[in-house]
Chains A and B, each alone.
Chain A
Amino acid sequence: MNDLSVRLMNCFSEVFPGLEKNEIFQASPRSIQKWDSIATINLLTIIEEEFGVSFGPEELERLTSYPSILEYLETKDRTSQFEKE
């Protein structure tokens, strides 16, 4: 597991304490009962704090599961590394 996914898992654990690893990997509002609109705002804000990113309105609508958020962060990370090079 890479550093990004570990940090993202920690964010999920802060908002949804008690989730097992495998539950986090598949986490979405469908699989987690406590994932309501407030949890969405808390989760995305914590991710913004942790990764120094800022989600626009489209991303707020699209990023509704662990895999989708991880993919977004990995793409962001690759882009910023490419820009550095």
Chain B
Amino acid sequence: MKLVDALRILREAPHNAKPFLTFLACGFTPGHLQTFLAANLQTLLPDRCVEVTTGLYGDIAGNIGQIDTLDGEAAAVIVEWSDIDPRLGIRSLGGWGPKQLEDILRSLLPQLNRIKEHLQNASARHQVVVSLPSLQIPPIAFTPTWQASSFEQELEEEVARLGSWIVRQPNLKLINSAYLTRHSSGFDRFDVQSEVLSGFPYGLSFASRLAQALAQLIINRVPKKGIITDLDDTIWRGILGEVGIEGISWSLERRGHMHGLYQQLLRALSEEGVLIAVASKNNPSIVQQALKSDRMFLSAKDVFPMEAHWGRKSESVSRILKTWNVSAESVVFIDDSPMELAEVKATHPEIECILFPKDDYKAVYLLLTNLRDLFGKTSITKEDSIRMESIRHSAIFKESVDDPFSADDFLRQAEAKLELSLHKIPVDPRALELVNKTNQFNLNGKRLSETEWQAFLGNPESFLLVAEYQDKYGPLGKIAVLAGRNVDNKTCVEVWVMSCRAFSRRVEHCCLAYLFDKFASEEIILDFKVTEKNGPFQYFLSEFSPQPSALGLRIPRGSFIAKCPARFHSIRELNDE
């Protein structure tokens, strides 16, 4: 991003929109970094009015200390060497001799500990993203610059130790220095003239890149959910129909190693909860045999559904999306044929179509990196590890309950177990993840930042109900979240989402029944809003004919009891354990 673009983005921001306040804590003049950070955040939050404020020059610890007292939603902390000791910068003339080196090392730990302590306090109420020194240490050690000195090694070791601590804290996130290295070389980062004259140390392009990375860390974009991949010259080298099972390869000795790496990444993504499906023009029985090979990294159990036939790939993609019940925009389609990519793109314009660059080792490696960025997430939950299996089971389940006459019979024998928890603390990351990614069974489409979520849970009037489901077909994990407040014998629900994998199991009915019982409420008021995608929620509401009121849609206890269908679940409360 150029500075002129950043200024334009900020000028055109919706100035009357809800503000998004971010604090930038650094010890140098924030200069263009402040502008770039605001512009990158504004791009990611087009409906908000982003404002980035800053602290005092030369006081990194004090600036981090301020975060705790601010009302902002997020904070970015940039630590440079000169913040650890001014003699490690070029604006101070405190001496670079051997005695000063010893003194710098002596004061290193106390200053890092101060920063750590302030970061810990700051992260109690705010989400804080951190960048540790990204500039080179100046030529202060007595060794030539190509020789590593014990002085530099010790500095970097202690900073790395701080980094290891940061990544283990729930509300702190650290910029990956390897990402910055990939996009900017060391010397281009440092603008000596700017640092000396104005106290702003970064070159313009590096400031832009760093701000982009910080903004991406602050605003967790929702990762893509699934990959639909081709097989021939993609998962493996060779055309299965021409060379047979023995002819295809993904090994180093048969020049198929990059295909092996692609398989290896798909396998890892599958284990991390990414959905993997195949769309291949092939003979289905030979494909099944090929995927059964124990030499394959990716096996048939990692893939669902498998669309191997001679029909159009766009039709395969349509069926896969329906089975997964996800939108095209959250899926990536990978094929080695530009024609197939174009055919799928024409039918599903929202899908991200990526060419598998066979025979180009570097391009395949970049593809793997790109896939990591598209599917990367902050943590892996239990639900991620069972997602594929539960979708497989849901497909069987759906076929059975679609027949209304057998729905009760089917649900009765399903051995459904529901675990319900009203625990607000410790904060469950899965609950917020569900709130921010569920579209269809969603009360009002409300999305919340981590800070807003924490503030909501911190309110003593608020409640949070998290439901975890399993039946004899397998576990679905935590699949529903309800949150709201209890006021005057009324339960007001402000957030209610349920994963589409739990549809048709009457989990939503159980949740509502539980709230009526647990809170002895005479009525439940839903802060309902129609969204483009919440048709399934509207359908559920229509069962109870709720009445509008000033606070939202009312469902009286009597009306719910009269109209609620049979529930066969065994309920277990986790509240007292």
Instruction: Indicate if A49 sits at the interface (CB-CB under 8 A).
Output: yes
Check A46 against B3 for contact (C-beta < 8 Å): yes
Taking CB as reference atom, which chain B residue is nearest A37? B198
Q: Does B94 contact A (CB under 8 A)?
A: no
Instruction: Verify B198–A41 contact, CB threshold 8 A.
Output: yes
A69 within 8 A of B: no
Question: 0/1 per residue, A35-78, Cβ < 8 Å to B?
Answer: 00000011001101110000011001000000000000000000
Note all chain B residues with C-beta closer than 8 A to A42. Answer: 3, 7, 32, 35
Q: Is the beta-carbon distance between A60 and B35 smaller than 8 angstroms? A: no
Judge whether A50 and B31 touch: CB under 8 Å: no
CB pair B193 A57 closer than 8 Å: yes
B85 to A: closest C-beta gap in Å: 26
Complex formed: what's the CA distance from A45 to B3 in Å?
Answer: 7
* CB-based nearest B residue for A46: B4
Q: Does A23 contact B (CB under 8 A)?
A: no
B193: nearest chain-A partner, CB-CB? A57
Contacts of B4 in A (CB 8 A): 11, 14, 46, 49-50
Q: Residues of A contacting B193 with CB < 8 Å? A: 56-57
Would B197 and A57 count as touching, CB distance under 8 A?
A: yes
Confirm or deny: A19 has a beta carbon within 8 angstroms of a beta carbon on chain B: no
Contacts of B204 in A (CB 8 A): 45, 48-49
B2 sits at the interface (CB 8 A): yes
Residues of chain A within 8 A (CB-CB) of B8 are: 14
B197 engages A14 (CB within 8 Å)? no
Give every chain B residue within 8 A of A15 (Cβ-Cβ): 7
Size range of the interface on B?
10 to 19
B563 contacts partner chain A, Cβ-Cβ < 8 Å: no
Interface residues of B in 4-27 (CB under 8 A from A): 4, 7-8, 11
Tell me, in angstroms, the Cα distance from A80 to B371 when the chains sit together: 45
User: How many Cβ-Cβ contacts under 8 Å join chain A to chain B?
Assistant: 30
| A17 and B11 in contact, given A42-B35, A45-B32, A60-B197 (Cβ under 8 angstroms) | yes
Q: Name the A residues within 8 Å of B2 (CB-CB).
A: 46, 49
B residues in contact with A56, CB < 8 Å:
193
Say whether B11 contacts A41, CB under 8 Å: no
Chain B residues, Cβ within 8 Å of A46: 2-4, 7
Q: Which residues of B contact A50 (CB under 8 A)?
A: 4
Query: Smallest Cβ distance from A43 to chain B, in angstroms?
Result: 10
Within 8 Å CB of A17, what residues of B?
A: 11
Contact of B31 with A41 in the complex, beta carbons under 8 Å = yes
CA distance in complex: A11, B3 (Å): 11
A45 to B202, CA, bound (A): 13
Of B2, B4, B32, B198, most buried by chain A (CB within 10 Å of CB) is: B4
Complexed CA–CA distance, A60 and B193 (Å) = 11
Of chain A, the residue at the smallest CB distance from B198 is A41
How far apart are the CA atoms of A17 and B198 in the complex, in Å? 25
Among A11, A17, A42, A45: residue with most chain B CB under 10 A:
A45
**Shortest Cβ distance from A75 into chain B, in angstroms?**
21
> When chains A and B are docked, how far (Å) is the Cα of A1 from the Cα of B573?
78
Q: Which residue of A lies closest to B34 (CB)?
A: A38
The CA-CA distance from A77 to B3 in the complex, in Å, is 23
Smallest Cβ-Cβ distance to B11: which chain A residue? A17
CA distance A49 to B31 in the complex (A): 16
Collect the chain B residues with CB atoms within 8 Å of residue A57's CB: 193, 197
CA A59 to CA B22, docked complex, whole Å: 34
Q: Nearest chain B CB to A47's CB is how many angstroms away?
A: 10
* CB neighbours of A60 from chain B (8 A): 197
Q: How far is the CB of A48 from chain B (nearest CB, A)?
A: 8
List 18 interface pairs A-B (beta carbons < 8 Å), by A numbering: A14-B4, A14-B7, A14-B8, A15-B7, A17-B11, A41-B32, A41-B198, A42-B7, A42-B32, A42-B35, A45-B3, A45-B204, A46-B7, A48-B204, A49-B2, A49-B3, A49-B204, A60-B197
- Give the interface of A toward B (CB within 8 A): 11, 14-15, 17, 41-42, 45-46, 48-50, 56-57, 60
Q: Which 9 A-B pairs give the minimum distances between C-beta atoms?
A: A46-B4, A45-B3, A14-B4, A49-B2, A46-B3, A14-B7, A57-B197, A49-B3, A17-B11
- With A46-B3, A49-B4 given, name 17 new contacts (CB 8 A): A11-B4, A14-B4, A14-B8, A17-B11, A41-B31, A41-B32, A41-B198, A42-B3, A42-B32, A42-B35, A45-B3, A45-B204, A46-B7, A49-B204, A50-B4, A57-B197, A60-B197
